[in-house]
Chain A
Amino acid sequence: EDQVTQSPEALRLQEGESSSLNCSYTVSGLRGLFWYRQDPGKGPEFLFTLYSAGEEKEKERLKATLTKKESFLHITAPKPEDSATYLCAGGSGNTPLVFGKGTRLSVIA
């Protein structure tokens, strides 16, 4: 059974304090590893898709990386507006994505 596990469950950072969020996956025949941002009361917002180990993608203060077993979302010098829940998901074949439980990030000014 495909599984996606995210850690930590919650993370509190000071503004400017860089850190990383972890996503471990066991998805056979991974077709893509996806990262989303979700604000309270809103639908998830697409951030990145990673397809193969060694791949990296960046967007502003965020950088996502992928290995054969896990993905990291690195946040460099975060700002309060980066506070949100970050979701990781994996998919294989043509099956729906399996989502992790998310990491709730709070960035304090």
Chain B
Amino acid sequence: GAVVSQHPSRVICKSGTSVKIECRSLDFQATTMFWYRQFPKQSLMLMATSNEGSKATYEQGVEKDKFLINHASLTLSTLTVTSAHPEDSSFYICSARDTGRGEEKLFFGSGTQLSVL
């Protein structure tokens, strides 16, 4: 079964509104989670690294005031797209790193398709 839960799976919103996406690790503690963005037929583009109890690290070109990340616990990270515009429409995916199983695995959520009208 899924070990990383992401909600919602799909959201449609009006331009100017804010959207919050949740990412939970279900059976392991994740001190580090990652947020990606993916355009159709393209690979994953890392947006930011979310660290529990500290500020997120954003990749170059990603607006931190636009994409707010909060990692308040070892099992939950949230991404809030503030004042969303049509160009923010994309597929957003979170992932969590699990190093407690004898080998490193990066598990992904099921993704959130955001459509901004």
The one of B42, B49, B91, B107 that contacts A101, using a Cβ cutoff of 8 Å: B42
B91-117, CB < 8 A from A: 91, 93, 95, 103-111, 113
> A44-B44, A96-B46 are known contacts. Are A32 and B111 too (CB-CB below 8 A)?
no
Query: B105 and A46: CB pair below 8 A?
Result: yes
With contact pairs A87-B43, A101-B43 given, residues A42 and B110 touching in the complex (Cβ less than 8 Å): yes
Q: Are B113 and A87 in contact (CB under 8 A)?
A: no
Query: Residue-by-residue, is B37-61 near A (CB-CB < 8 Å gives 1, otherwise 0)?
Result: 0000111101001000000000000
How many interface residues does chain B have, given as a range? 20 to 34
Contacts A31-B104, A49-B104, A96-B46 known; A43 to B109 CB distance under 8 Å? yes
Whether A99 is near chain B, meaning CB under 8 Å from some CB there, is yes
B34 within 8 Å of A by Cβ?
Answer: yes
- Which of chain B's residues has its CB closest to A100's CB? B43
Residue A62 interfacial (CB < 8 Å): no
Q: Which residues of B lie under 8 Å from residue A32 when comparing CB positions?
A: 103-104
Q: Is the interface of B mostly helix, strand, loop or mixed?
A: strand
CA distance A46 to B109 in the complex (A): 11
> What count of chain A residues pass the 8 Å CB interface test?
21
Closest to B48 in A: A96
Given A87-B44, A96-B34, A99-B43, does the pair A41, B105 have CB atoms closer than 8 Å?
no
Say yes or no: B44 contacts A104, CB within 8 Å. Answer: no
Q: Which of these, B46, B49, B108, contacts A44 with CB under 8 Å?
A: B108
Per-residue CB contact flags for chain A residues 71-96 toward chain B (1 = under 8 Å, else 0) read 00000000000000001010000001
- In the A-B complex, the 4 residue pairs with the closest CB atoms: A43-B108, A101-B43, A43-B111, A44-B108
9 contacts between A and B (CB under 8 A): A31-B104, A42-B111, A43-B6, A43-B108, A44-B44, A45-B108, A46-B106, A51-B103, A101-B42
